[in-house]
Amino acid sequence: MKAAVLHGANDIRIQDYRQPELAPGMVLVRNRNVGICGSDLHYYHEGCCGAFVPDRPFVLGHELSGEVAAVGDGVDALRPGQRVTVNPARNCGFCDYCKSGRVNLCRKTIMLGSASTTPPTDGAFAEFVVVRADQCHPLPNSIDDALGAMIEPFAVALHAVKRAGVVSGKRVLVAGGGAIGLLVAMTARAFGATPIAVSDPVAARRAKSLTLAADAALDPAGKDLPRQVRALTGDGFDLVFEASGAPPALRAAFDFVRPGGAMVQIGTLGTADIPLPANLLMVREIAYLGSMRYADVFGEAIRLVASGRVNLQPLLTTVFPINQCAQALRLAADKSQALKVQIQL
């Protein structure tokens, strides 16, 4: 099959590649659209993603929509020709985390397009991928291939908002106006949060947030930021979602959450320890929560998009054919121009 194969930093090649073999309980998916994620950009520009260093060339990509090409023995719920989006994280299904419903915490998860395993697990920048049947979620006709490939990042945002509990009527700050941050703001809006502010140093992203879900767009480097927060919320935000992965943004967030409020950490901050204002956490009784990928929210995400409650279309910047994969990766890294860039097979 044709695939875009990562051989090292800034070295991705379109080449013939081994097609994955179908096994019992598995599904062969013919990929249609595949989104570029921040982890893909790390692999492409740095040759690794944090502590995950590939030991051989492999295929990136884990945000996908496609069509069922074939099903393995024992698969009855899916049929060839059916359109699906895919949960790229395959949990073990047997550990305590899986059995208690916290499948996103499974220590044996296999992630498409990731060097978290040795050898790395090939992803979806290719004509075909094989996944377990329960990773596939049928798409209604109202969701096209491009939007279907955006269900995965939307699931990240949806899980994060659900981690915060009830958001209706809550004052919300989202730190980070990238695709995930904007999706968090849009989800919080759909669930009744008000007002919603998005903070980002890139002017284009602040402007975009105002067209999608934000009541206010804040410049984290602005000298009057504390005054703006007071004017918008009084004593601070009820909920802060840290979606930037930037240590300065995380530290600033503690100054803007109200006493008794909560913070949800979504952005990846790397492997180094980061100092936090523990005394502020204590005296304000701030609840600090982590949000890792997604639990079982794909079905809910599909229904929210199909119903029109959340419109993913404005986040799609452009779609490239697979033979322009390197160009797509370079554009996706430009924060002033791109939100969600996709590869089309």
Mean pLDDT of the 82-89 span: 98
Indicate if the pLDDT at residue 270 is higher than 90.
Answer: no
CATH superfamily of 2-150+312-344: Medium-chain alcohol dehydrogenases, catalytic domain (3.90.180.10)
Mean of pLDDT over the chain: 96
Query: For residue 6, what pLDDT is reported?
Result: 98
Q: What is the token pair recorded at 21? A: 């073999």
Q: Is 228 exposed, middle or buried (0-12, 13-18, 19+ CB in 10 A)?
A: middle
Percent of the chain topping pLDDT 90: 96
Query: For residue 42, what pLDDT is reported?
Result: 94
Consecutive H or E run containing 111: strand 110-111
Query: For residue 271, what pLDDT is reported?
Result: 77
Q: Which CATH number fits domain 157-290: 1.20.1260.10, 3.40.50.300, 3.30.420.10, 3.40.50.720?
A: 3.40.50.720
Neighbour-count burial for 94-132, b at 16+ CB within 10 Å, e otherwise: ebebbeeeebbbbeebbbbbbbbeeebbbbbbbbbbbbb
> What pLDDT, in 10s, does the model give residues 12-46?
999 999 999 999 999 999 999 999 999 999 999 99
Q: Identify the CA nearest to 146 among candidates 286, 293, 308, 342.
A: 342
Query: For residue 240, what pLDDT is reported?
Result: 98
> What pLDDT, in 10s, does the model give residues 46-63?
999 988 999 999 999 999
Question: pLDDT grade, residue 195 (50/70/90)?
Answer: very high
> What pLDDT, in 10s, does the model give residues 250-266?
999 999 999 999 999 99
Indicate if the pLDDT at residue 295 is higher than 90.
Answer: no
Query: For residue 138, what pLDDT is reported?
Result: 98
Mean pLDDT of the 203-220 span: 97
Instruction: Domain ranges for the chain, please list them.
Output: 2-150+312-344, 157-290
Indicate if the pLDDT at residue 182 is higher than 80.
Answer: yes
Mean pLDDT of the 132-158 span: 98
Torsion of CA 170, 308, 124, 43, to 10 degrees: -30
Query: For residue 50, what pLDDT is reported?
Result: 85
Query: For residue 29, what pLDDT is reported?
Result: 98
Q: Could you check whether 2-150+312-344 and 157-290 share the same CATH topology?
A: no
Indicate if the pLDDT at residue 305 is higher than 80.
Answer: yes
Percent of the chain topping pLDDT 70: 100
End-to-end CA gap in the chain: 11
